[in-house]
Structure 1
Amino acid sequence: MAETPILIGVGDIINRNLAVHHAAEPLELMLNAISIALQDTGLSSQAIANLKTKIDSIDVIRTWTWPYPDLPALLAEKLGTKPSHTFCSPHAGTQPAKLVDEAARRIANGETRLAVVTGGEALASLAACAKAGVMPPPNWTPVDTPVTQVFAPSTSEMAKGIGAKHTIGAPIQVYPLFENGLRAQRGQSIEDNNTESAKLYASFAQVANKTPLAWNFPKTAETEETIGRVSSRNRMINPLLMNAFNTVNLAGAVVLTSTSYARELGIAQDKWIYVLGGAGTQDSDNFWERPNFYSSPAISRTLDAGLEACGLGKKDIDMFDFYSCFPIVPKLACLHLGLDMLKPEKPITLLGGLTSFGGAGNNYSMHAMTIMAKKLRAGDGTSGLVLANGGVLTYQHVLCLSSRPRADGRSYPARNPLPPSLSSDSVPVIDETAEGEAMIETYTVDFDRKNVPSLGHVVGRLKISGHRFIANHGDATTLKRLASRAEEPIGKSGYVRPSTQGEGRNLFFLNGGARL
């Protein structure tokens, strides 16, 4: 008979002390979060000490901060247990939801009895050490990686192939491609879209302002005006206050078991939060191989499959937490589910988003699950849905939690209902080298630190064939027009040709000068 998986303990920890000698490494923060999660079960200190030794599964969301050789093994050693299952995830913001889903499935199948899933970052402390020109404290776990390479953003590998040739692939470049594409598809002006995004993130900031775990709590929340206005403080990187803020010291953990073992342990039922199921998939790793730039098939399919796997409909969900590294993610989720993003009837963020709450590296959605569990216990609703996103709008995973068991009486889903990745017949042929009359499909612009446009990026279509290409701006006039907030570049015609400098780039000209 299949077991019923539940969360029995959740925990979070924050370290706001940026003094270098007080810098706590991710391992320490995770251990503290696990300790809080174990205490959250309501068991006695002696029972918790005994419970630690019975943990037979440890999953860890890979940390950006420190290159541990085997973090799950280190955690197991510190906890005094010898788990039969250990795993450290790849980099992706989907991993908290995915690993909890997989741990719940193992519990349902009887493969795991007591599981811990945890993750954490100490990027704020690491940045403080770098600023002071000193090493982290000597009690941090020794690693073989040279110190100069320790803090290398996990997104550095995203610029590859023809993207790398055109110096594009980072999140701050790719997410705006979709923001611009969706804006044009919806018929919004650039200013109207910016206002909408600023309103959305201002509402998220108000949520973070009431969340003690938020990194900037209890500072005054950012407003629509401060978020939407480009300034020296809010540089034109989407702009900056619409980006994930990752320089935090945060860790979170959840403890899972079955209802039968929870009864055996004597854990009160008002602590139980049922893990109903999940689903996840991904679009192409290469952004230029997506069907279009105004939708995410992975988000749509994941939301639909996640709800169906849990035996739920949209109306059954009382609270959502949509990943929000950039506004495009919650926008796409809301549009797919038919939710009013600016005046939602139900919460669409429980934390306040990756800008105002803090990005927490890959681990943001872990905190969404912990706060959702607390709200469900408190009776703020019956069921909730977490949408976790990773890569450059690439990976998606949904997890549903509830204060009640499944209404349909079915067992935990035996498998992820979606394939590992989605394929599409509607992806156009990609021309690495392009020349001819062309049209802009989407675009974005890099700005320097003085908010001056420095490099234009165009994803376009050749008019003669419909083939897609990537290009940079070809001249100053094209760059200026791409950066204008008064003109809509998408749909505009121009000319593309290979660069004469031999670096493998294409150049796009809005004024036709490329033929000269």
Structure 2
Amino acid sequence: MAGGRFIPVVVGVGDIKNKSSKVEDAIEPLQLMLQATSVAIKDTGLSLSTAKKLQSSIDSVSVVNTWTWSYDDLPGLLSEKLGITPSHKVLSIHAGSSPAKLFDEAARRISLGESKVAVVTGGEALASLGACAAAGKLPPPGWTKTSESGRALSLSDITGQGRRNLGTTHSVGLPIHVYPLYENAFRAHRNQTLQENDKESARLYANFAKVAEQNPLAWNYGQLAATEETIQTVSKKNRMICYPYPLLMNAFNNVNLAGTCLLTSTEYARELGIPENRWIYPLGGAGTDDSEYFWERPNFYSSPALSRSLDAGLEISGLTKDDIDIFDFYSCFPIIPKLACHHLGLSITNPPKPITLLGGLTSFGGAGNNYSMHAITEMVRKLRKGPALHGLILANGGVVTHQHVICLSSKPRNHHSPYPAKNPLPALTTDWQVPPIEAQAHGEAIIETYTVEFHRDGSPLRGYIVGRLKENGHRFLANHADQNTLLQLSSGVKEQIGRAGWVRTAEDGRNLFTFDDKGGKL
């Protein structure tokens, strides 16, 4: 014990990958999580009888919400299958930050004596679901039926895009839209050319692909890693999704993956006889959110939530960035590891220490909300092997919205101090200035950031502009007003941020932005 409190440790981790795309091999998320939990229990190194005692002692079940399938009570179903009646059961929100947040909270409960053994798990079977849908086998044979007929979730369920707001009025707000808005703004903020930025992103993701190439759990394992040239070159197989990100810079979510972490106290681990060389110590965690609505952010070249989560996660763990031997930065799109590297002063394309253990959501596989669970399990394995002592995981969710950082170590906290009693950060960052928002904008304007969505055939579909009115600096959202403006925005040869134009409100309520001088027509 430390300071009258228990010391939490990770004693078992497990991962499952079901690579088959056959309908008869489709395994639902619930079963994948159970398999991963079984692997985690076995990973403790205990005998069969003692492992059963450990399993019966599980009193906390935390589950990362799954994109694949809608369950009535997923934590309850898992508990029933495990033969336990935990006093604590929780299902996360839909956010990629959830694995780190649930892990942090589980470690805290163990420290406070509120839990003896905790399971943190999550899983997806989107590849199997897609195969079953293509074969007309929905619901898939044998999958759990629920009050909602076991329906698969739509992206609007997950992102909240079904709610009418300023974003939906302009058909903008999905991850494929918002992360490019940040990438473009970050590029302009650093005075990069478009070509320099594309090359940087491609090199970053080529480095990540090399990591996934060596990871047996990666969805792309066994395939040659995509090269920098392949990732950067737009082609039929690598079509542009939303500028500046072609397909190979977007998260790939059609995977069947599950992961589980098993935590207890050093006291109970010692009582059970779990070897100390299996123990990895959670040191601390911190997380906060930026505004749910991306247009209510202070700017688009930084994230207060991301920066503060990194700083607070390190501080509360008693570490500095120089103490960290291994990082794993969430990487649904290149912008998140870029923002993390930039804040910590690390090179983006040639960092002195690893910044991914998995290889990113393009090459490892998106795993829905659960990607960072696999980062935790892999971090545990790396720290057990040494020589690395300390690791940091940044988990990101939403549209640069939810952030949570955790630090792990092969050694206890400094001076054996107790695990932090609370998250040091507020639930939401609010202490920054946001320009007034003009729902209906009219007049001369400047582009603050932008992106263009493309058709499958490679032609531009729609422009999305975040702009500022010249008259008062107020912010607005807009779509392109005409084909000429759309073509200029999508050209990829000239910086569009900072360019002037005009905005007006159409009859359907959308703001429309143009580079063409409309004179009095505005």
- Say which SS state the counterpart of residue 257 (structure 1) adopts: strand
Contact 2:129–2:140 (8 Å) recurs in 1: no
Contact 1:61–1:90 (8 Å) recurs in 2: yes
Which residue number in structure 2 is paired with residue 392 of structure 1?
A: 399
Report the alpha carbon displacement of residue 511 of structure 1 after superposing the two structures with TM: 1.8
Report the alpha carbon displacement of residue 155 of structure 1 after superposing the two structures with TM: 4.0
Determine whether 1:277 maps to 2:284: yes
Distance 1:254 1:197, change over 3 A: same
**Structure 2: how far apart are the matches of 1:156 and 1:408?**
43
Report the more deviating stretch, 319-328 or 233-242.
233-242
> Which runs of structure 2 are paired with 1:117-132 in the superposition (5 Å)?
117-132=120-135
- 1:248-306 CA distances to partner (integer Å, 9 max, x unpaired)? 00000000001011111111100000000100001000000000011011111000000
Letter in structure 1 aligned against 2:202: A
Please, which of 151, 160, 182 is the counterpart of residue 178 of structure 1? 182
**Structure 2: how far apart are the matches of 1:408 and 1:182?**
40
**Structure 2: how far apart are the matches of 1:353 and 1:332?**
15
Distance 1:105 1:142, change over 3 A: same
> Which runs of structure 2 are paired with 1:33-432 in the superposition (5 Å)?
33-146=36-149, 149-153=151-155, 154-158=157-161, 160-237=164-241, 238-432=245-439
Distance 1:2 1:17, change over 3 A: same
Determine whether 1:6 maps to 2:9: yes
Contact 2:159–2:174 (8 Å) recurs in 1: yes
**Structure 1: how far apart are the matches of 2:190 and 2:352?**
22
**Structure 1: how far apart are the matches of 2:58 and 2:113?**
14
Determine whether 1:17 maps to 2:20: yes
Contact 2:27–2:128 (8 Å) recurs in 1: yes
Structure 1: 4+ residue segments shifted above 4 A: none
Report the alpha carbon displacement of residue 47 of structure 1 after superposing the two structures with TM: 1.2
Report the alpha carbon displacement of residue 138 of structure 1 after superposing the two structures with TM: 3.0
Which residue number in structure 2 is paired with residue 513 of structure 1?
A: 518
Contact 1:438–1:495 (8 Å) recurs in 2: yes
**Structure 2: how far apart are the matches of 1:121 and 1:270?**
30
- Say which SS state the counterpart of residue 416 (structure 2) adopts: coil
Letter in structure 1 aligned against 2:380: A
- Say which SS state the counterpart of residue 360 (structure 1) adopts: coil
Please, which of 492, 509, 513 is the counterpart of residue 504 of structure 1? 509
Which residue number in structure 2 is paired with residue 444 of structure 1?
A: 451
- Give unmatched runs, 5+ long, in structure 1: none
Contact 2:70–2:153 (8 Å) recurs in 1: no
Letter in structure 2 aligned against 1:210: Q
Letter in structure 1 aligned against 2:510: R
Letter in structure 2 aligned against 1:426: Q
Report the alpha carbon displacement of residue 145 of structure 1 after superposing the two structures with TM: 2.2
**Structure 1: how far apart are the matches of 2:432 and 2:231?**
39
Letter in structure 2 aligned against 1:287: F
Contact 2:255–2:367 (8 Å) recurs in 1: yes
Determine whether 1:26 maps to 2:33: no
- Give unmatched runs, 5+ long, in structure 2: none
Report the alpha carbon displacement of residue 150 of structure 1 after superposing the two structures with TM: 1.8
Contact 1:291–1:424 (8 Å) recurs in 2: no
- Say which SS state the counterpart of residue 56 (structure 1) adopts: strand
Contact 1:318–1:346 (8 Å) recurs in 2: yes
Normalization by structure 1: what TM-score?
0.98
**Structure 1: how far apart are the matches of 2:159 and 2:321?**
37
Report the alpha carbon displacement of residue 223 of structure 1 after superposing the two structures with TM: 0.8
Distance 1:227 1:446, change over 3 A: same
- Say which SS state the counterpart of residue 320 (structure 1) adopts: strand
Cα RMSD for the two superposed structures: 1.1
Report the alpha carbon displacement of residue 146 of structure 1 after superposing the two structures with TM: 4.6
**Structure 2: how far apart are the matches of 1:515 and 1:284?**
37
Report the more deviating stretch, 245-254 or 149-158.
149-158
Contact 1:215–1:357 (8 Å) recurs in 2: yes
**Structure 1: how far apart are the matches of 2:519 and 2:41?**
65
Aligned pair count?
Answer: 513
Distance 1:428 1:319, change over 3 A: same
Contact 1:508–1:514 (8 Å) recurs in 2: no
- Say which SS state the counterpart of residue 382 (structure 2) adopts: helix
Report the more deviating stretch, 281-290 or 45-54.
45-54
Contact 2:96–2:396 (8 Å) recurs in 1: yes
Report the more deviating stretch, 158-167 or 31-40.
158-167
Query: % of aligned pairs identical?
Result: 60
Distance 1:481 1:515, change over 3 A: farther
**Structure 1: how far apart are the matches of 2:498 and 2:272?**
63
Report the more deviating stretch, 22-31 or 231-240.
231-240
> Which runs of structure 2 are paired with 1:469-480 in the superposition (5 Å)?
469-480=476-487
- Say which SS state the counterpart of residue 128 (structure 1) adopts: helix
- Say which SS state the counterpart of residue 158 (structure 1) adopts: coil
Letter in structure 2 aligned against 1:38: I
**Structure 2: how far apart are the matches of 1:114 and 1:323?**
27
Report the alpha carbon displacement of residue 514 of structure 1 after superposing the two structures with TM: 6.6
**Structure 1: how far apart are the matches of 2:440 and 2:267?**
61
Contact 1:94–1:397 (8 Å) recurs in 2: yes
Contact 2:393–2:407 (8 Å) recurs in 1: yes
- 1:95-131 CA distances to partner (integer Å, 9 max, x unpaired)? 0000000000000000000000000000000000011
**Structure 1: how far apart are the matches of 2:395 and 2:304?**
15
Report the alpha carbon displacement of residue 210 of structure 1 after superposing the two structures with TM: 0.3
**Structure 2: how far apart are the matches of 1:46 and 1:512?**
79
